[in-house]
């Protein structure tokens, strides 16, 4: 992992002191609500439906065990004993007291963490593949490039007040697990025939009120020009993006209005002033960051241990189910990545208690060299587990309730906090998620359905990414009543697509029955080995609509 140097630590410590003084003056009435708003949002502090909410940055989803342990301590001391992992791999505290936030930020700074730019019209947390650095299909490890973007974008003086928030996603693998096509900017690192690193740059993607798939800006940008090219894109957006209407202020609206060719022309005209300038990356600069991402001291795993692991899968059905769904292949023989499910009936999706944070931190130390990842599916990952420790880990996860063998199934749904917490939400999300989980909890049924992504958002801001769910659920308001709109056919991978609305919206008590009807259409129409998404793309929306509204 990247570790702060003296510049990083000084910067974060000074921001804590600055915000502590700003908070003091606000509480004393010396700063108005209007003046305080831009100060608090750039430190991740929202005013939600019932209480303040603090969003803590987890850069590109990487966590050290001691950082997770500290997050658990903070949640226990300053909140209600739990936190919520978001689809942007951050952690939200939903009940902190306003006057405690400076102390929380100071505690975060003690473990090289912060809440800077997790809100506001600035460059948000850069996200990437949760298996970066260990995936077998990876051409380029994206983590050093994410760190370079973090250093470039944090406190960038020119982009502190953009027309709207700005999100970047990065991948270096053949399979896009970072959803780069539905971000303001998506980056795909690859190597040409000579082994040189190149970058495919997309712009103008995004979800929210007007969902769009990003368009290609450049197919083969040399890595040296990454930051200057990003700067050119941001400059064009900053200059021409709509500021008169926040619903039309995202870069996707500008790209759509100008067309990708004209937007590219303007960006490259701006880039002409930046190319080969002082922000051009050098091998020395990249190496300095790359050196932070060293391989852990993995021990060799004996061949007979690997064979014993394979035998256990054949002998123990419960263990086999866990491995099939929650364990991912690793680039190093004898090692696996293990996804810890944060989806269970007694918690909201993505929620984790202080006690469980401490327990998972201990597991990371014991089984995974002290490192974890947060996924945009709102789960956690132990990245380097030797197979001869897998059974022990599985049994420990069972006691924590995190061994649910349902990752990638209907039960592994994504859900925003919705109307239970968020002041922007039109409807509640969490009760809908829990009702679906309770209805469809039979493992044999879930496995028979195969890979199925169900995403729930409480409003058009799409924090639950409902547009790219195979089944998407959106909470809408109709004259003060909560209704839910269903969409089908979304996807966030290599062939990203936006879901199509099924038809008129439904009462909350009807949603689970509607999902049941959709699944019956799929089961009745599918061919052998066909997934839900495959079936939908083959037969279209009409059969689902006819059955649901019959």
Q: How far apart are the C-alpha atoms of 185 and 162, rounded to whole Å? A: 14
State the pLDDT at residue 47: 87
Residue 422 confidence (pLDDT): 87
Query: pLDDT band for position 174 (50/70/90)?
Result: very high
Tens of pLDDT, residues 363-410: 999 999 999 999 999 999 999 999 999 999 999 999 999 999 999 999
**For residues 464 and 458, what is the distance between their CA atoms, to the nearest angstrom?**
8
Q: List 45's β-bridge partners, or say none.
A: 54
Residue indicated by tokens 């000084």? 10
What's CA 185's distance to the chain center, in Å? 15
Dihedral sign computed on CA atoms, order 440, 499, 172, 44: negative
In whole numbers, what is the pLDDT of the chain averaged over residues?
96
Strands (E) in 192-252, as ranges, are 197-203, 215-222
pLDDT of 425: 87
Helix (H, G, I), strand (E, B) or coil at 413: coil
The Cα 113–Cα 106 span in angstroms is 9
C-alpha gyration radius of the chain: 23
Map residue 79 onto helix, strand or coil.
Answer: coil
Tokens representing residue 243 in the block: 């500021």
Cα–Cα distance measured from residue 447 to residue 442, given in angstroms and rounded to the nearest whole number? 9
Worst-scoring range by mean pLDDT, 247-251, 478-482, 529-533?
478-482
Residue in this structure with the two tokens 């993607």, named with its chain if needed? 205
Q: How far is residue 237's CA from residue 31's CA, in Å, rounded to a whole number?
A: 31
pTM for this one?
Answer: 0.96
Answer yes or no: is pLDDT of 260 > 90. Answer: yes
Contact between 361 and 367 under an 8 Å Cβ cutoff? The reply is no
pLDDT given at position 498: 97
Could you tell me the pLDDT band of residue 344, with boundaries at 50, 70 and 90?
Answer: confident
Which helix (H) or strand (E) is 516 found in, with range?
helix 508-525
Dihedral pair phi/psi, residue 482, rounded to 5°: -85, 125
408: left (phi over 0), alpha (psi -120 to 50) or beta: left
Residues 6+ positions from 184 with CB-CB distance below 8 Å: 166, 167, 168, 203, 204, 205, 206, 250, 251, 252
Positive/negative CA dihedral, 432, 428, 182, 190: negative
Mean pLDDT of 120-132: 97
Strands 471-478, 481-488: pairing is antiparallel
H and E: helices and strands count for the chain: 18, 21
* Tens-digit pLDDT profile for residues 288-299: 999 999 999 999
Q: What is the pLDDT of residues 35-94, one digit of tens each?
A: 999 999 999 999 887 889 999 999 999 999 999 999 999 999 999 999 999 999 999 999
Torsion of CA 317, 321, 324, 328, to 10 degrees: -110
Length of the chain: 550
């Amino acid at each position: 992992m990247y570790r702060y140097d003296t510049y990083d630590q000084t910067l974060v410590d000074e921001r804590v002191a600055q915000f502590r003084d700003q908070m003091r003056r606000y509480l004393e009435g010396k700063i108005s609500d209007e003046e305080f708003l831009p100060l608090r949002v750039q430190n991740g502090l929202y005013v939600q439906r019932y209480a303040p909410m603090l969003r803590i940055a987890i850069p590109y989803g990487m966590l050290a065990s001691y950082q997770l342990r500290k997050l658990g301590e903070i949640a226990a001391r300053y909140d209600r004993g739990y936190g919520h992992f978001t689809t942007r791999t951050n952690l939200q505290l939903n009940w902190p007291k306003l006057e405690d936030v400076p102390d929380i930020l100071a505690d975060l700074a003690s473990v090289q963490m912060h809440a800077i730019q997790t809100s506001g019209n600035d460059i948000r947390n850069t996200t990437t593949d949760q298996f970066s650095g260990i995936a077998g299909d990876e051409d380029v490890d994206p983590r050093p490039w994410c760190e370079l973007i973090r250093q470039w974008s944090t406190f960038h003086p020119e982009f502190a007040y953009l027309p709207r928030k700005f999100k970047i996603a990065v991948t270096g693998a053949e399979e896009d697990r970072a959803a780069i096509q539905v971000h303001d900017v998506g980056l795909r690192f690859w190597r040409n025939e000579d082994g040189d690193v190149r970058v495919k740059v997309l712009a103008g993607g995004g979800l929210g009120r007007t969902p769009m798939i990003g368009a290609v800006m450049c197919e083969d940008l040399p890595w040296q020009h990454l930051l200057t090219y990003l700067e050119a894109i941001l400059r064009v957006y900053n200059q021409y993006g709509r500021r008169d209407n926040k619903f039309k202020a995202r870069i996707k609206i500008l790209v759509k209005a100008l067309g990708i060719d004209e937007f590219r022309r303007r960006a490259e005209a701006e880039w002409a002033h930046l190319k080969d300038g002082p922000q051009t990356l050098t091998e020395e600069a990249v190496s300095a960051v790359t050196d932070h991402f060293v391989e852990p001291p993995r021990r060799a795993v004996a061949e007979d241990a690997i064979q014993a692991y394979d035998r256990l899968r054949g002998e123990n059905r419960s263990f086999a189910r866990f491995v099939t769904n929650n364990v991912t292949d690793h680039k190093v023989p004898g090692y696996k990545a293990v996804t810890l499910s944060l989806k269970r009936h007694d918690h909201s999706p993505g929620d984790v208690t202080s006690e469980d944070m401490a327990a998972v931190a201990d597991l990371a130390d014991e089984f995974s060299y002290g490192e974890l990842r947060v996924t945009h599916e709102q789960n956690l990952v132990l990245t380097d587990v030797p197979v001869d420790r897998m059974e022990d880990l599985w049994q420990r996860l069972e006691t924590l309730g995190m061994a649910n063998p349902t990752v990638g199934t209907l039960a592994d749904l994504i859900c925003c906090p919705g109307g239970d917490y968020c002041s922007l939400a039109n409807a509640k999300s969490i009760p809908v998620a829990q009702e679906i989980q309770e209805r469809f909890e039979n493992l044999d049924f879930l496995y028979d359905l195969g890979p199925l992504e169900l995403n729930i958002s409480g409003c058009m801001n799409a924090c639950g990414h409902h547009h790219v769910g195979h089944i998407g659920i959106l909470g809408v308001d109709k004259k003060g009543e909560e209704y839910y709109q269903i969409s089908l056919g979304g996807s966030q991978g290599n062939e990203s697509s936006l879901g199509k609305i099924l038809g008129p919206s439904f009462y909350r008590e009807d949603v689970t029955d509607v999902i049941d009807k959709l699944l019956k259409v799929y089961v009745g129409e599918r061919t052998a080995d066909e997934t839900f998404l495959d079936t939908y793309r083959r037969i279209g929306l009409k059969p689902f609509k006819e059955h649901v509204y019959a």
